[in-house]
Amino acid sequence: MRKTTHRLALGLATAALGLTAACGGGGGDDDATGTIELTTFGEFGYDDLVKQWNEDNPDTPVKQTKVSKWDDWKNELNTMLQAGTGLPDVVAVEGDFMPAIVAAPDRWVDLASDDVKGRWLDFKEKEATTADGALLGYATDAGPEAICYRADLFEKAGLPSDREEVAALMSTWDDYFALGEKFTKASPDVAWYDASGSIAQAMLNQVEFPFEQEDGTVDVDNPELKEVWETVTSRSDSLSTQTAQWSDDWNAGFARDGFATIPCPGWMRNPIKDNTGDPAPDGVVWDIADVFPGGGGNWGGSYLAVPQTSKKQDAAREFAAWITAPEQQLTIFETLGNFPSQVEALESPDLLSVTDEYFNDAPVGEIFSSRADAIDVQPFHGPLYSDILTKFQDAINRVDQGTDPDESWASFVSEVKALQ
């Protein structure tokens, strides 16, 4: 596991990060007791941990509010930030949004301290750190990607279903799409992958500068982005479900044998279980291949941040540090699937021993550790990354719904210009 940690640190970070000493966060009237308000999105796996915290810390209990989707919470969060009021004490944010937070450091508490120095993988710390060393978010998890697949549907299509054999068949994107053509020819009523946007996201995770150059200059007219666009949109009719990821139709696709594969960071296991049914219906067999076309990729990984408007900054920081600690991250990986972002957790032998009965007893600890070791590119995320990504996904979805690709691309370029 040292190898995994060091390769991520060396391959994904351009420089060592210096962290400042702990600061009070600017909350001069910080209340020592009272309820800490926490808002998360999706499923962070915090329910039992919050109960544990509340039992151990009755003077500073946590009240968690869950928003179903990141996009919904992002809209609420932006509204609260513009209004300067209504924010909870601890805010969960998707990793793609961290550059926007780093770009507005006066609104957020510096969470750096000697107690947490060096806890996280370098690229996770870097994403949440300002130029002058303020740490504005504690990383909750990372998202090394594998491929989850329906072994039963592979068998029906006459394809190998053993996870090692499957991995050998899709080491490159060309291999992956060629296998998809073979699959859909044998099973014309089943799509090869879950969503065009899902594959676009997966491929973007291997592009160093997808939307912005290193100085923050927006550049969506670059060959790497164009290649992702053309690759995905040209296969919309033949391989995709043509549904938007996270939509109701996408959710329903799991239960009706709608597709055979899905790009799969560790946290994706939970949506698969929820949407397919747990236990899985008779005959349905999900498995995980230790492979990701084109090498490695990281999708997702969120953060906890503390707004300057919080009246309980010290207690909020203490809770955020505790719930993102290695012990808690390992617990969440075992129960939910979110892969740890903590160096100490990655070095734990307990991680490698984790299996997942739902996914045909796949050795998920070994698989996702291997996938983490394969990551050698971390896309640059400038302040507009999250907003441009949303526009890009919207453009992909328009093509799925019948819009001419050239027309949709032109609309995307126009929308990006309007963001600047």
Given this model, what pLDDT does residue 5 score? Answer: 37
CATH label of the domain that carries residue 287: 3.40.190.10
Residue 4 has pLDDT above 50, yes or no: no
26/88 same-domain check: yes
Given this model, what pLDDT does residue 335 score? Answer: 87
The pLDDT tens digits for 222-235 are: 999 999 999 999 99
Domain span including residue 327: 13-142+300-361
Asked if the structure places residue 371 within a domain, the reply is no
Asked if the structure places residue 194 within a domain, the reply is yes
Rounded CA-CA distance 93/108 in Å is 13
**The model's pTM:** 0.83
Q: What's the structural domain count of the chain? A: 2
What are the DSSP calls for 391-416, one per residue?
HHHHHHHHHHTT--HHHHHHHHHHHH
Task: Output the average pLDDT for the chain.
Answer: 91
Given this model, what pLDDT does residue 300 score? Answer: 83
> What integer is the mean pLDDT of 254-275?
95
Asked if the structure places residue 4 within a domain, the reply is no
Query: What residues contact residue 14 under an 8 Å CB cut-off, 6+ apart?
Result: 126
Residue 211 has pLDDT above 70, yes or no: yes
Evaluate whether 139 touches 125 at the Cβ level (below 8 Å): yes
318/279 same-domain check: no
> What integer is the mean pLDDT of 56-82?
94
Q: What is the 3-state secondary structure (H, E, C) of 11-23?
A: HHCCCCCCCCCCC
**Using the 8-state DSSP alphabet, how is residue 63 labeled?**
E
> How would residue 397 be classed by pLDDT, with cut points 50, 70 and 90?
very high
244/392 same-domain check: yes
Given this model, what pLDDT does residue 30 score? Answer: 63
Rg of the chain in Å (alpha carbons): 21
47/72 same-domain check: yes
159/287 same-domain check: yes
The pLDDT tens digits for 165-199 are: 999 999 999 999 999 999 999 999 999 999 999 99
Q: Which of 13-22, 98-107, 146-155, 367-376 has the lowest mean pLDDT?
A: 13-22
Residue 360 has pLDDT above 90, yes or no: yes
Query: Phi then psi for 209, rounded to 5 degrees?
Result: -130, 75
> What integer is the mean pLDDT of 124-140?
94
Query: What residues contact residue 164 under an 8 Å CB cut-off, 6+ apart?
Result: 289, 290
Asked if the structure places residue 7 within a domain, the reply is no
111/241 same-domain check: no
The neighbour count for residue 7, using CB atoms within 10 Å, is 16
> What integer is the mean pLDDT of 151-169?
98
CA–CA distance from 242 to each of 149, 187, 232, 269, 343 (Å)? Answer: 18, 17, 11, 21, 38
> How would residue 22 be classed by pLDDT, with cut points 50, 70 and 90?
very low
Name the strands in the sheet holding 259-265, side by side, starting at the edge strand that comes first in the sequence: 191-193, 259-265, 145-150, 286-289
Tokens 């947490």 found at: 116
The percentage of the chain sitting over the pLDDT mark of 90, rounded to a whole number, equals: 82
Q: Which of 12-26, 72-86, 286-300, 313-327 has the lowest mean pLDDT?
A: 12-26
The percentage of the chain sitting over the pLDDT mark of 70, rounded to a whole number, equals: 93
Residue 122 has pLDDT above 90, yes or no: no
